[in-house]
Amino acid sequence: MTEPTDLLALLQRPLEPTFLPKDDGKTVIDVPEEFLTDRYRPIGAELQSRFTSDAEQRIPVRNVPSTPDLSFANGIQKRGAFSLFIPMHRDAAAALINLFLGQPDVQTLMSVATYCRDRLNAVLFQYALAVAIQHREDTKNVNIPSIVSLFPDQFVDPAVFPKLREEGAAVQQENRMVIDIPPAYTASDREDEQRMAYFREDIGVNMHHWHWHLVYPGDGPLEVVRKDRRGELFFYMHSQLIARYNAERFCARLKKVRHLTNLREPVPEAYFPKMVRSSNSRSYPARSANSVLQDVDRVDNNTTVAVADLERWRDRIHEAIDQGFVLDTQGNRMPLDEERGIDLLGDIVEASILTPNRTLYGSLHNMGHNVIAYIHDPDYRYLEDYGVMGDVTTAMRDPIFYRWHGMIDGLFRRHKDMLTPYTGAQLGNEGVSVTSVGVQLTRPNTPANVLLTYWQRSQVDLAAGLDFGPQGNVFASFTHLQHAPFSFRVEVNNASGASKQATLRIWIAPKVDERGTALPFREQRQYFIEMDTATVTLNPGMNTIVRRSDDSSVTIPYERTFRAIGTKAQPAAPSQLAQFRFCGCGWPAHMLLPKGSPEGVQFDLFAMVSDYAQDQVVQDLDPNAPCNDAHSFCGLRDKKYPDRRAMGFPFDRRTEDTVKTLNDFVAPNGNMKAATIQVKFNNTVIART
Catalogue the active-site residues.
Answer: 350
**What is the rounded distance in angstroms from the CA atom of residue 604 to the CA atom of residue 66?**
63
Write the CA distances from 156 to 467, 477, 591, 665, integer angstroms.
Answer: 15, 10, 18, 44
Tell me which amino acid residue 139 is. T
Using CB atoms within 10 A of its CB, is residue 598 exposed (0-12), middle (13-18) or buried (19+)?
exposed
3-class SS of residue 593: coil
| Residue of 149, 154, 188, 185 whose CA lies nearest to 12 | 149
**What is the rounded distance in angstroms from the CA atom of residue 455 to the CA atom of residue 279?**
32
Q: Bridge partners of 456?
A: 480, 686
| Residue of 353, 381, 351 whose CA lies nearest to 366 | 351
Find out whether 5 and 57 touch, Cβ atoms under 8 Å.
no
Q: What are φ and ψ of residue 482, in 5° steps? A: -150, 160
Running DSSP on this structure, what letter comes out for residue 267? B
Q: Quick one: how many helices (H) and strands (E) in the chain?
A: 22, 18
Tell me which amino acid residue 353 is. I
**What is the rounded distance in angstroms from the CA atom of residue 107 to the CA atom of residue 113?**
10
**H helix intervals, 19-86:** 44-52
* Residues in contact with 198: Cβ distance below 8 Å, sequence separation at least 6, in sequence order: 183, 184, 480, 481, 595
* Residues in contact with 348: Cβ distance below 8 Å, sequence separation at least 6, in sequence order: 231, 317, 320, 326, 355, 356, 357, 361
Angle at 341 between CA 340 and CA 347, to 5 degrees: 95
3-class SS of residue 572: coil
Tell me which amino acid residue 52 is. T
Helix axes 106-117, 87-101, angle to 10 degrees: 150
Tell me which amino acid residue 616 is. Q
Cα 259 versus chain centre, distance: 21
| Residue of 645, 605, 640, 648 whose CA lies nearest to 621 | 640
Cα 584 versus chain centre, distance: 9
**What is the rounded distance in angstroms from the CA atom of residue 29 to the CA atom of residue 88?**
31
| Residue of 181, 240, 408 whose CA lies nearest to 313 | 408
Q: What are φ and ψ of residue 683, in 5° steps? A: -80, 60
